[in-house]
Each structure stands twice: as C-alpha cells, then as structure tokens.
Amino acid sequence: MKFIHFRPMAPSQQAKSPKTVRGLLTGLAVGACLLATVPSAEAQAPAQPAAPQAAAPKAAPQVAAPQAVPGFWDPRRRPERPDLSRLTVIRFLTETDYPPFNYTGADGNPAGFNVDLARALCDEIKVSCTVQMRRFETLVDALTSNRGDAIIASMAVSPQLRARVDFTDPYYRVPARFVSRRDAVMPEIRPEYLEGKKVGVIAGSAHEAYLKAMFTDAELHGYPNDEALRAALRKGEVDFIFGDAISLAFWINGTDSGDCCAFSGGPFVESRFFGEGIGIAVRKGNDVLRQALNWALFRVWEKGRYTDLWLRYFSVSPF
C-alpha cells in the first residue's frame, strides 16, 4: 500500500486561470448539469451554424471550441456551510490502478483526477488529509473497519453498496455515447435517425438493454468485448458503436483507434440504465463528513477548480 499526506495549500500555491475562461467553462458545467436532467433520447441539440462575420483585413486565428465539462450541482441550491469543527483529518482511500482517475505517479505517490479532487476538497474544508491506495475490491471492507474515512475511487453508487456505506452527491457520471467513423459523424442522434443502421454494442450490457428499449428500429450487433466492438467499427462492419463514453473518449484520442472515429450526437445519462453516478463513500451514519464533502464539492465546482481538473485529465470530453 502507498500513502500520500498533504495539507491545505496556501492561496499562493493554488492553481489559477483567467477569470474569463473560468467563467465560460463553469457555464458549460452548468449546461452539462441541466443536460443530465433531460430524458436521454432528447438530451442533445444539433450544432448551430455560426453567424456570418464581416470581412477583416487579416484572418482571425482559429480558437478551439471549449470542451463540455460535466457538473451536477445546481447554483440555485447552494448548500449551507456545515459545522466543520469536528473534522481534524480525512483519511481517503483510493484504487491502485485506474488511470487517469487513480494511479501511481512518477514519484511513487498516489496521483490522478480523484487524488487531485480529494486535495481540493481538503483545501476547502481546511483539514489535513491522507490518501491510501488499495485494491478496489478491498476498499469497502477497509472503510467499514475504520481503516479510512472516505473512498474516492470512481465508485458507482448502487443499491447494493448503499446497504453498506453512505454516499455523497455524485461528482461525475459515466454517460453512454455513439461513435461513428469520422466521415459519417452526426451532430444529433435520435431513434428515428438510426432506422436500419447497424449498431454495435457489448452483448448483455446495460448499453444493449438501452438500445433494445429505445432504438427499436436499429439493427443491433452484439460483441463479446470492447476490442471486438471497436474493430467492427474500424472495419466498417457496423455504422455506429454504443458504449461507455469515458473509455470511448480515450480510445478515440489514442493510437489504437488510428484516428478513424469520433463521437456522434451527445451523451445519454438515463439513470435507470446507466446508474446514479459516481460518489464518495463514507461509513454508514457519518453525516458530518458526508455533508462536509457535499459542501466542499459544490464550492470546488463553483470556484472553477473542478473544471480545471477535468480539462487537465480529459483531452476528449465524454460529454
């Protein structure tokens, strides 16, 4: 097991970004938050053409479109600051190997999106924290036996886990998305658009169940694993594939895809099929810590630090 200990950073040590950029990205986060509440088959909007611009003496430099950043906090429902005086230290538990969320850094210490988010939460609560890396399957037992105070390890909220631990509000979701070859990208996907289209999906998965329920006119092709599914799209055996958008985002941006493919349409986040989201687990009844973490999560998002972290770790957004 590896540990990392850190204390709240002084204001001069915290990462800074231009206020205008941060404001824009936080706005995108609000948009993604609202998107998560829309029925999934309607949670997309076609791209709008840019308004024509007057001719200029010199061509303006092209600026990449801002990336969508997920956010599941409603700015109109600001949580009250809880009593934090009873918190003196938070012992976080995380997984050993699930990059970019959790992994061992070059210096041998825990690193990744979850670790950096834990650090930001500790800064906000103004307490010292430790992070301990363990195998994923041992995390809940370690928490319930008081070998840690909170699990931040991309743990999906489920009824089975709720019977053993309590969860904070979700700090991200794992959306589902369609991927097509780059020459056949569609800005919007609705069930009627895929009538007669060949769509690949992992057989027996929640993604297959969703397609069978919502995309009844598509021609579904089941595959045993991600490798076979993605190969089918590269070879043109199917028109689209549908699956976990986070793993698909890394595949699209990686060498294995051969730059063949891109997302089509927007994210699908129907909780009945794709879960309640990813939360931080605490011991049953530990409402002091759970409420403190919920408050800190909102503050980190509101200040733009969550957006900074997301953009640092995800070059192709799954949203």
pLDDT score recorded for residue 75:
81
For residue 142, what are the contacts with CB-CB under 8 A and spacing of at least 6?
93, 132, 134, 148
178: closest CA among 114, 101, 268?
268
Q: Which residues contact 227 (CB under 8 A, 6 or more apart)?
A: none
Q: Spell out the per-residue pLDDT of the chain, length 319, in tens.
A: 544 444 344 333 333 333 333 343 344 343 444 343 333 443 443 333 344 443 434 433 434 445 667 667 888 888 889 999 989 999 999 999 999 999 999 999 999 999 999 999 999 999 999 999 999 999 999 999 999 999 999 999 999 999 999 999 999 999 999 999 999 999 999 999 999 999 999 999 999 999 999 999 999 999 999 999 999 999 999 999 999 999 999 999 889 899 999 999 999 999 999 988 999 999 999 999 999 999 999 999 999 999 999 999 987 778 8
The CATH number corresponding to 3-10+19-40+68-173+276-313 among 3.40.50.920, 3.40.1260.10, 3.40.190.10, 3.40.50.300 equals 3.40.190.10
Q: What is the pLDDT of residue 28?
A: 38
Judged on CB neighbours under 10 Å (0-12, 13-18, 19+), 16 is: exposed
> Residue 101 half-sphere exposure, CB side, CA atoms within 13 Å?
19
Same topology between domain 3-10+19-40+68-173+276-313 and domain 176-274: yes
Tell me if residue 226 falls in helix, strand or coil. Answer: helix
The first and second tokens of residue 189, run together, are 């996907």
Per-residue pLDDT, 68: 63
Q: What angle do CA 297, 274, 68 make, to 5 degrees?
A: 50
H helix count then E strand count, the chain: 10, 13
> Which residue type does 177 have?
R
Q: Is the dihedral of CA 307, 311, 313, 318 positive or negative?
A: positive
Beta bridge partners of 274: none
How open is the CA angle 23-45-264, to the nearest 5 degrees?
Answer: 100
pLDDT at 18: 35
How far apart are the C-alpha atoms of 229 and 318, rounded to whole Å? 18
The residue extents of the domains of the chain are: 3-10+19-40+68-173+276-313, 176-274
Tell me, what's the pLDDT at 72?
77
Comparing C-alpha atoms, which of 286, 37, 284, 264 is closest to residue 163? 284
Q: Residue 315: what pLDDT?
A: 77
The CATH fold of domain 176-274:
D-Maltodextrin-Binding Protein; domain 2 (3.40.190)
Place of tokens 């997984």: 95
Side by side, which strands form the sheet with 261-268?
Answer: 219-223, 198-202, 240-244, 176-181, 261-268
- Contact assessment for residue 285 and residue 193, using Cβ atoms and an 8 Å cutoff: no
Residue 82: CA count within 13 A, CB half-sphere: 20
pTM above 0.85, yes or no: no
- Sorted by sequence, the CB contacts under 8 Å of residue 118 that are 6+ apart come out as 90, 92, 94, 129, 131, 152
For the chain, where are the E strands, in sequence order? Answer: 3-6, 89-95, 103-104, 110-111, 128-134, 150-156, 165-167, 176-181, 198-202, 219-223, 240-244, 261-268, 278-283
